[in-house]
Amino acid sequence: MIGCHLDSVRQTLYHYMSVLLSYRRSVSAMNCLSKDIVELVDLPDELILIIMNKVKPKVLLLCSIITIGNNRLEKLVLDKCDSIDLTFDYFQSPYKCLIQRFYSHVMPCIINNIQSLTLNIQHIPNVSIFAKRNSNGILPNLTHLKIMMGRQNPKTGTPYTLGNNLYGISRYNPLFSNIPQFVIMNKSSSARILSTFLCSSVMHSIVSFELDDDCILLNMFNDDSLFFHESIHLTHIRITLYRFEHCICLLNRLNSQLCSFTVNIMFVSLPNVDILSEIKSISCPNLKQLTITSYRTITDYEEFFLPVLQRLSNVEYLTLLLVVGLEGIRPNHFIDGFDLEKNIISYMPHLREFHFHIRSILKNSSHVEIKTIRQSFIQYQQQSVDCVIDYFHDNYGQCQIYSLPFIGTRLDFISNRFPLFDTNKTFSMVTKLLLYDDIQPFESSFFERVSRALPHLRTLDVMNGLEQQEKETTTTNNLEFINLTTLILFDIHLDYAEQLLCRTHLPCLVELAIDNDILLEIMTRDQQQAKDNCSRVETLRTWKPFYHSVDVLENFFPPYSYVKHPDEEKMKNK
């Protein structure tokens, strides 16, 4: 009976909040609402807070409570204003009108409460204008700032990741990771807005700064006097940089300020020997936590990358997620435990925790037994480590070494021989997977095991031109990837499109990148499961320009889902 009463109370409370929110949308409801407000405030604080926590996004709650004249409700909601999230796309929603009220009526009341602010780039001008008009260009108690790209389909609000760099020539480089989700901001208006904001007085009080992992500013270091110039209290940074020399510039600029540094690097290659002198000036005595991610192949590992790590001797917590290309350079063997001890660990005497996933690539590599790599980690008495070695027909081999538990969320160039399906569910948290094999096809049973082993998988890229050999034994069509949103089928045999589009249920698929001829073949077959999967696709990209009329797509894909190929845009602009 108690449970039934609680459910009844919750339903009643949700009704009251619904009435309260409706009030802000209709001035004519004032008289009717006053009675409901009295009933609402008769409830205990704990129950009112339950309702407040249910209202999403929080700005709706703030606009509905603050300045309505009820001091008790206003006090309750002000206590929840230390953290503000403005990542909801109000500009494309029915709540667009609330934004003006938020900045005119709510922000003046909560300006001293805000300690943490998360916002999309399109909100930056409003925040900047408000700060200049109301508080001398600052938010006085703001210490944590996180800026997101907010890349969403403008019609549906669905987040998307695929961009034009999906077509980069790097796809043709052996075992070279392509990263389609990066957005390189250079000369766009958003880039200028962001650069100006990061150099403004709003940054004066910031202690912790995070920029969307997928966002790169190319011109952020052109003027040494600007970037983070006002950030005198900044100690914690999470950012993505275009080149590794930008990381060196940032380390030198912040110096003793820096305590925690999480950086994603797009390219790590030695631009010129002059940069090596800047490495020698790095001094970050207070840097205790360091995370470096580079899924693009590092080509100058010993000459350029390691010297920077070796300057950061006070690091206590280190995480490295790296891909290292070793073709024609040192070392001429796969990176193993001996290398980590000699080149990294010995330079960090205060190191307490070291987590890593390092994939090293060799051309024409001699065969190495996996037990040889494992033996190199014998000295790791307090940490579990494992490794995988794989060789391909293109004369390339790769070795992946990783600490356990596995901390990465991405696996690239995974073949039939990778131990993806171990009983310990080592890789169960992986969300991005690139499958590659030029020795064996991926059979239906392989995809069935992938769906079970990686329940959180959101992005799948398949590269395999080999025909499936067990098609005759495939009788089930109940394969399902329940969280998969992005599917890339550029470099494949037709069998894999049939496997994943015609014989697999993809209830969350919203992005599809596919070879033109294979797409037309799939549509010709007019298979119901394929039509069902494609009916939810909001972003369709093809490997080559789609010279057919887009009307051809109308029976499979929603209107306006096709995104023009970059070459089509070039031809249009000629």
In a domain? residue 536: yes
Q: How confident is the model at residue 570 (pLDDT cuts 50, 70, 90)?
A: low
Task: Point out which residues pair with 239 in neighbouring strands.
Answer: 263
In a domain? residue 299: no
Q: How confident is the model at residue 23 (pLDDT cuts 50, 70, 90)?
A: very low
What's the pLDDT at 92?
63
Lowest mean pLDDT among 159-168, 250-259, 559-568: 159-168
Q: How confident is the model at residue 25 (pLDDT cuts 50, 70, 90)?
A: very low
* CA angle (366, 379, 390) in 5-degree steps: 25
Q: How confident is the model at residue 327 (pLDDT cuts 50, 70, 90)?
A: low
Residue 561 and residue 553 in contact, taking contact as beta carbons nearer than 8 Å: yes
d(CA 547, CA 457) in angstroms, rounded, equals: 32
For 40-62, the pLDDT digits (tens) are 667 788 888 888 888 777 888 88
What's the pLDDT at 574?
56
Residue 358 and residue 389 in contact, taking contact as beta carbons nearer than 8 Å: no
Lowest mean pLDDT among 166-175, 266-275, 318-327: 166-175
In a domain? residue 315: no
For 270-323, the pLDDT digits (tens) are 888 888 889 999 999 999 999 999 998 898 999 999 999 999 999 999 999 999
pLDDT at 346 over 60: yes
Q: How confident is the model at residue 33 (pLDDT cuts 50, 70, 90)?
A: very low
Task: Provide the whole-model pTM.
Answer: 0.88
d(CA 447, CA 498) in angstroms, rounded, equals: 12
Residue 471 and residue 443 in contact, taking contact as beta carbons nearer than 8 Å: no
Mean pLDDT of 94-110: 84
Report the range out of 12-21, 279-288, 463-472 with the highest average pLDDT.
279-288
For 226-261, the pLDDT digits (tens) are 467 778 899 999 999 988 999 998 999 888 999 999
Here the tokens at position 48 are 């009112």
Q: How confident is the model at residue 478 (pLDDT cuts 50, 70, 90)?
A: confident
d(CA 534, CA 464) in angstroms, rounded, equals: 22
d(CA 17, CA 31) in angstroms, rounded, equals: 16
Residue with tokens 């609000």: 157
Residue 437 and residue 466 in contact, taking contact as beta carbons nearer than 8 Å: yes
Mean pLDDT of 381-398: 89
363 or 168: which carries more pLDDT confidence?
Answer: 363
Domain of residue 456: give its range: 409-573
Lowest mean pLDDT among 160-164, 184-188, 226-230: 226-230
How large a percentage of the chain has pLDDT more than 70?
86
Q: Write down the mean pLDDT value for the chain.
A: 85
What's the pLDDT at 27?
37
What's the pLDDT at 198?
86
* CA angle (218, 224, 225) in 5-degree steps: 125
327 or 390: which carries more pLDDT confidence?
Answer: 390
In a domain? residue 363: no
What's the pLDDT at 30?
39
What's the pLDDT at 513?
96
Lowest mean pLDDT among 11-20, 44-53, 94-103, 366-375: 11-20
In a domain? residue 490: yes
In a domain? residue 511: yes
pLDDT at 28 over 50: no
How large a percentage of the chain has pLDDT more than 90?
55
pLDDT at 13 over 50: no
pLDDT at 35 over 60: no
Long-range contacts, stretch 4-10, CB < 8 angstroms, 24+ apart: 9/47, 10/50
Residue 431 sits in a domain of what CATH number? 3.80.10
In a domain? residue 54: no
For 531-557, the pLDDT digits (tens) are 999 999 999 999 999 988 888 998 899
For 189-222, the pLDDT digits (tens) are 888 888 888 888 999 999 999 999 988 876 655 5
What's the pLDDT at 199?
84
Residue 269 burial (CB count, 10 A): 17
Here the tokens at position 201 are 């007085």
HEC-encoded secondary structure of 77-136: HHCCCCEEEECCCHHHCCCHHHHHHHHHHHHHHHCCCCCEEEEEHHHHHHHHHHHHHHCC
In the chain, the number of structural domains is 1
In a domain? residue 60: no
DSSP class of residue 27 equals: G
Q: 407: burial class by Cβ within 10 Å (0-12, 13-18, 19+)? A: middle
Report the range out of 115-124, 144-153, 167-176 with the highest average pLDDT.
115-124
99 or 20: which carries more pLDDT confidence?
Answer: 99
